[in-house]
Amino acid sequence: MKFVRQFNWISFAATLALIALGTVAIWSSGNARAETVFHGMWINNLTTAIFGLVLYFVLAAVDYRRFLELFSWPLYGLSLVMLVAVLCFGSEVLGGRRWLWFFQPSEISKLFLLCLVAALLGHDRFQASPLRTSFKGFLFVGALVGVPCLLILAEPDLGTTLTLVPAIVLMMFVAGVWRKGLVPLLVVGAVGAMAILGAVYEAEKPGVSPERREQILKYTPLKPHQVKRVKVFLFPETDPQGAGYNQRQAKNAIGSGGYRGAGIGQGRTNRLKYLPPAVSMNDFIFCVYAEETGYRGSLFLLALYAALLLPMCWVAAFARDLRGRLLALGFALLIFAHVYVNIGMSIGLLPITGLPLPFVSSGRTFLVTVLCGLGLVQSVSLHRDEGVT
């Protein structure tokens, strides 16, 4: 049977396992809070996952080619409308406007933007056009991507943009968009990022006068709260009870888990609220999970992510058209970026930024978005032979 033969069972099994682990982690983190409203968050996560799985199978059953042809541009337009609306009417939480009623438009926009880029760059007309290999083609794609990215940055939400841009760049490279200039541009970008990191280091190292600090930082594009996060990353012991508190407690939680872990619901850092409850269910939930399951539990979690992502790369490798290949690769890198950044900031390898851990962090919009994206990747696997002679 075609469905059984071409269905990506490994990736789907990893998805279910990650949902189960995430539900348990949210239950443990929620029960450590004094507010009873958080005790049932695991139920919300589970019901959201069920809803997302329904959409997963609906999108998997639809031919992704037809879906991209009909909906990529309308969904892109919808994402722009939502991103503008959240800046005008969204709820302000912790200094940012990211919520529009009960959902986050920036999360949904990531999937819509990946669909547009896959549909545009993978289309035969674009591939046959001289625009593909020219600088004008790069500017055209860059403008399409840049508008929603700038709106997301205005919320402000730097973390979302940092995970989205690498996926778009990979899709552009695979599609052959201005490769002779794209690679040098990436090198320049990497050098620029290192220069910004070095500037913050020079400005924030001990002994620098306030005047010198201000003079250096005025040449960086970072906002004050972003500079503070980079400073904590570079000098974690400078403010252990202030800006560096979350980072220090995150490392303590992970280290205290040891090899076996403290047991589900028994993490001391979580139960005693050394790790602030405001971030324990989302941005720093890996710390809760690592403390309770230990090193072996963390390795198992990483193995599940590998079981999720590697089959997606296999789907991309065996896709019969470029649109399917781009969609699978772009979404795989998006998920990888979320995992890498979230866990990296938890263990002190990256500056702190507000990014959820796929399937594990509490976040209904992101969970549904990821499941919809995986459903489209599943469609690439199921329908790859259709229309091929």
Domain boundaries, the chain: 2-176+245-382
Q: What is the pLDDT of residue 388?
A: 52
The H-or-E segment that residue 88 falls in is helix 64-89
pLDDT at 343: 93
Q: Is the pLDDT of residue 13 over 70?
A: yes
Q: Model's pTM, two decimal places? A: 0.91
How many degrees, rounded to 5, is the angle at CA 359 between CA 357 and CA 365?
Answer: 90
pLDDT at 241 over 90: no
pLDDT of residue 238: 67
* Residue 62 clears pLDDT 90, i.e. is over it: yes
Nearest Cα to Cα of residue 244 among 258, 257, 252, 233:
233
Long-range Cβ pairs for the range 215-223 (8 Å, 24+): 220/196, 221/196, 222/196, 223/156
Cα separation, 71 vs 63, in Å, equals: 12
Q: Which residue has the higher pLDDT, 36 or 222?
A: 222
Query: Which is more confidently placed, 274 or 255?
Result: 255
Reading the block at residue 193, the tokens are 């990022």
d(CA 109, CA 95): 21
- pLDDT confidence bin for 240, thresholds 50/70/90: low
> E strand or H helix at 309, and its extent?
helix 285-317
Q: Are 330 and 118 in contact (CB under 8 A)?
A: yes
Q: What is the pLDDT of residues 81-128, one digit of tens each?
A: 999 998 888 777 666 677 787 788 989 999 999 999 999 999 989 998
CA distance 157 to 386: 39
Check whether 316 has a pLDDT greater than 90: yes
Instruction: Name 2's Cβ contacts closer than 8 Å, sequence gap at least 6.
Output: 382
pLDDT mean over 343-365: 86
**What is residue 282's predicted lDDT score, i.e. its pLDDT?**
79
Per-residue confidence (pLDDT) for residue 1, from 0 to 100: 65
Q: What is the mean pLDDT of residues 243-258?
A: 78
Is 15 in a helix, a strand, or coil?
Answer: helix
Residue count (the chain): 389
Beta strands in 116-272 (DSSP E): none
Q: How many CB atoms lie within 10 A of CB 273?
A: 13
Q: Which residues pair with 99 in a beta bridge?
A: 91
* Amino acid in the structure at residue 333: L
Separation in Å, CA 312 to CA 95, 108, 316, 326, 329 = 36, 20, 6, 11, 7
Give the pLDDT of residue 389.
42
209 — pLDDT class (breaks 50, 70, 90): confident
Indicate the average pLDDT of the chain: 86
Q: Is the pLDDT of residue 207 over 90?
A: no
**Residues 163 and 344: beta-carbon distance below 8 Å:** no
Residues contacting residue 49 through CB under 8 Å, at least 6 positions apart: 19, 23, 367, 371
Q: Is residue 113 packed enough to be buried (19+ CB in 10 Å), middle (13-18) or exposed (0-12)? A: buried
Give the integer Cα–Cα distance in Å for 16 and 11.
Answer: 9
List pLDDT tens digits, range 146-168.
999 999 888 878 788 888 989 99
pLDDT at 206: 79
